[in-house]
Structure 1
């Protein structure tokens, strides 16, 4: 069967003087055919694998470019939205400050009107006491006059003694003066009642104005506090525990945050005072939120134009092509682009680190640490305290890189987290 498919062949080799041949047996032909077939199959398979890898790599690069463009558009939209929200926050703060000044003025007017009301009430009380005393004296004078005139009516009409006549004249004059004083007191009492009614109307109008102002302030506080609370919760942080930590470090009170009291005579607290104290409490909570926001990395380290080149998580390594974990995000811009701290903190490392190149580590509150790698210049030193938005160096291409960019990391209690969680959480606030 082997000779039928691979018959014996002879290969003749002829020279000028001699002729020789090489015998190709069936087994030899089978081995040569199998080897040639294996070589051709290996060539086909290798070519197919190479083509598939090339096509797959091209698709991956195209997908990566599309993802980068999508990320860039998202960041541009977030930057525009952030600027818009910042302008709205500034405008709301201005309105809040103006309303707070108006509340202070209205409180002053309310205190003055309350003082005038109390003075009028005291005056009315004095007038009523005087009126009652005058009426009592008038009644006593009438009784005395009737007692003096009664004997004279029963006795024969004779000339009154001079002393009795003087007494009658004196009592008549006193009665006339008392009647005149009574009429004047009644007139003054009527005027005081009219003024009290007018003052009551003014107080009612002022209370309506105060209620409108308080409603505006309460709405403004709710609008200001709610986005901050959502921002912390979106970043996976408990606002209550954060506020307790901030409050423990900022526990002093005074100035405009001192509780207000409109009562100076042991009276029950005024409802306006309760509402004002509630607003001041919310304002204190807003200040605590803003302090906490400055201590957490809700900002972006690059404020100039940049390109989002790599996200957080597993990715294809740009150097080796293998799949590796990427513990931060890469933001690309020209060498020398300023880099800024994303929160208040203390520099705990500033120097060269293998792979990272020139690296800055900043320790923030709440166990948060941020890292800024591949810098061309480090502008801070270890132990230096930095504020949110303070320049810490320049972007570069030091360390293990393919081009200039900043590798930005966020770690919580030593564990890496996605920095975009904080950046996206703050896009509607800052």
Structure 2
């Protein structure tokens, strides 16, 4: 009985049995049974390879071959994809470096412009100081001239009064000589008395004429002096007007960039000035008020000078406010921007990153008080400085902290060194600015001061 008949004996004539028989018949035609002989010196053995076994081996081999082909294709595709990704990353890195280089050049240009603007600001302040000194000197000169005019006018009035009195005495003497009131002279001494009287009158008239000429000369001199003083007063007024105009222009030119700087940073200049004035409210000294005392008519020049002094005071308060707000940049050495303010990888990046050499000096960007100096999770070595106007700055990832809590610092003071502590992937400074507890973009302050400092 053959193998096929033997199988049919046990499978029966059911439909599944017939299908299985047909499958095995097809398999036996395609893959007939094979025998593998193993011959040794003493005996010969064989291994029977049934069609099912051959089909299983062939299927396994096909699966291994297909897996090899698929794996090879996946590896090749990954290799091609990674090559494209590397090329894309290289292009993006080149673009990023070009952008950083452009930003560095722009920063250098802005730094040069800021230095020139600061020099112009210093020159304007020096000019304002000189004009202010000239204004005070001219004011003193004007007061001296007014005093001299008053003295001359008083002397002239006194001289004219004396002249009028002398003329009245002369008229009275002439009347007495002509009418002879109260004379009781005798015929013997009448001629002698008349001669003496005429001599006295003549002498009095001569003295009166001399005094009159002297008074006339003094009046002429006083008139000439008054004309000269009036001319000098006109020249002085013109000079005052030139000084006032120059001062007003200097104050206006100096105030405009400061107004723009505070507005660009989102700060209210009036509120800043009010806060600074509350901290510095002393008065007095040589720059006292130039307005006249209460009850007298206001002097336009004094009012104009008072407005200029008020503008100078406002500009000085602006300067003080600028030193107390973080308009400076925390690094004075070479650096590059590596990450800006905003969303980064789905999370908020609340500051700006500056990459530079390890140990680069880190400087305070405004006057303030150190409220934290040490380690803080995520930030590493951190320095926090509290400034006026509800502003706080943070300097993170430092390699070394050079200040202590409670220490007063001024703008540009060194507070630490650049490092790579905390949650950091490389040496850089993480710089934050917070206003009333809310983080803001530090570049807003830095860019606002580009044309001022």
Q: Normalised by the shorter chain, which TM-score bucket? A: 0.7 to 0.9
Indicate whether 1:198 and 2:228 are aligned: yes
Q: How far 1:109 sits from its partner (Å)?
A: 3.8
Rounded to whole Å, the distance in 2 between the matches of 1:32 and 1:255 is 105
Corresponding residue for residue 369 of structure 1: 392
Corresponding residue for residue 163 of structure 2: 134
Q: Deviations over 1:124-177 (max 9, x none)?
A: 33323422442353245235424533679xxxx998443343223212221221
Corresponding residue for residue 205 of structure 2: 175
Contact 1:142–1:175, Cα closer than 8 Å, also in 2: no
TM-score, with structure 2 as normaliser: 0.79
Q: Deviations over 1:279-307 (max 9, x none)?
A: 22112111211221111111111110111
Rounded to whole Å, the distance in 1 between the matches of 2:442 and 2:94 is 21
Instruction: From 126, 144, 147, give the equivalent of 1:118.
Output: 147
Indicate whether 1:410 and 2:433 are aligned: yes
Number of matched pairs: 413
Q: Deviations over 1:310-334 (max 9, x none)?
A: 1111234xxxxxx433221111111
Q: Call closer, same or farther: CA 1:168–1:45 in 2, change over 3 Å.
A: farther
Q: Call closer, same or farther: CA 1:234–1:41 in 2, change over 3 Å.
A: farther
The unaligned stretches of length 5 or more in structure 2 are 1-21, 38-45, 182-186
Corresponding residue for residue 320 of structure 1: none
Q: Call closer, same or farther: CA 1:281–1:54 in 2, change over 3 Å.
A: farther
Corresponding residue for residue 242 of structure 1: 272
Rounded to whole Å, the distance in 2 between the matches of 1:106 and 1:224 is 19
Q: How far 1:43 sits from its partner (Å)?
A: 8.2
Contact 2:33–2:48, Cα closer than 8 Å, also in 1: yes
Q: Deviations over 1:204-253 (max 9, x none)?
A: 11222222122222111112222111111101111111111111111112
Q: Deviations over 1:331-364 (max 9, x none)?
A: 1111111111111112122212222221111122
TM-score, with structure 1 as normaliser: 0.83
Rounded to whole Å, the distance in 1 between the matches of 2:126 and 2:290 is 18
Q: Call closer, same or farther: CA 1:151–1:380 in 2, change over 3 Å.
A: closer
Indicate whether 1:100 and 2:121 are aligned: no
Contact 1:124–1:189, Cα closer than 8 Å, also in 2: no
Indicate whether 1:10 and 2:41 are aligned: no
Indicate whether 1:388 and 2:411 are aligned: yes
Corresponding residue for residue 336 of structure 2: 307
Q: Call closer, same or farther: CA 1:53–1:357 in 2, change over 3 Å.
A: same
Rounded to whole Å, the distance in 1 between the matches of 2:178 and 2:451 is 95
1:27-426 equivalent positions in 2, closer than 5 A: 55=84, 58-59=87-88, 62-63=91-92, 65-142=94-171, 144-146=173-175, 148-149=177-178, 160-261=190-291, 267-316=296-345, 323-426=346-449
Q: How far 1:182 sits from its partner (Å)?
A: 1.0
Structure with larger Rg:
2
Secondary structure (helix, strand or coil) at the match of 1:15 reads: strand
Rounded to whole Å, the distance in 1 between the matches of 2:319 and 2:269 is 12
Contact 2:248–2:308, Cα closer than 8 Å, also in 1: yes
Rounded to whole Å, the distance in 2 between the matches of 1:265 and 1:119 is 24
Rounded to whole Å, the distance in 2 between the matches of 1:302 and 1:11 is 86
Secondary structure (helix, strand or coil) at the match of 2:424 reads: coil
Indicate the RMSD between aligned Cα atoms, in angstroms. Answer: 3.6
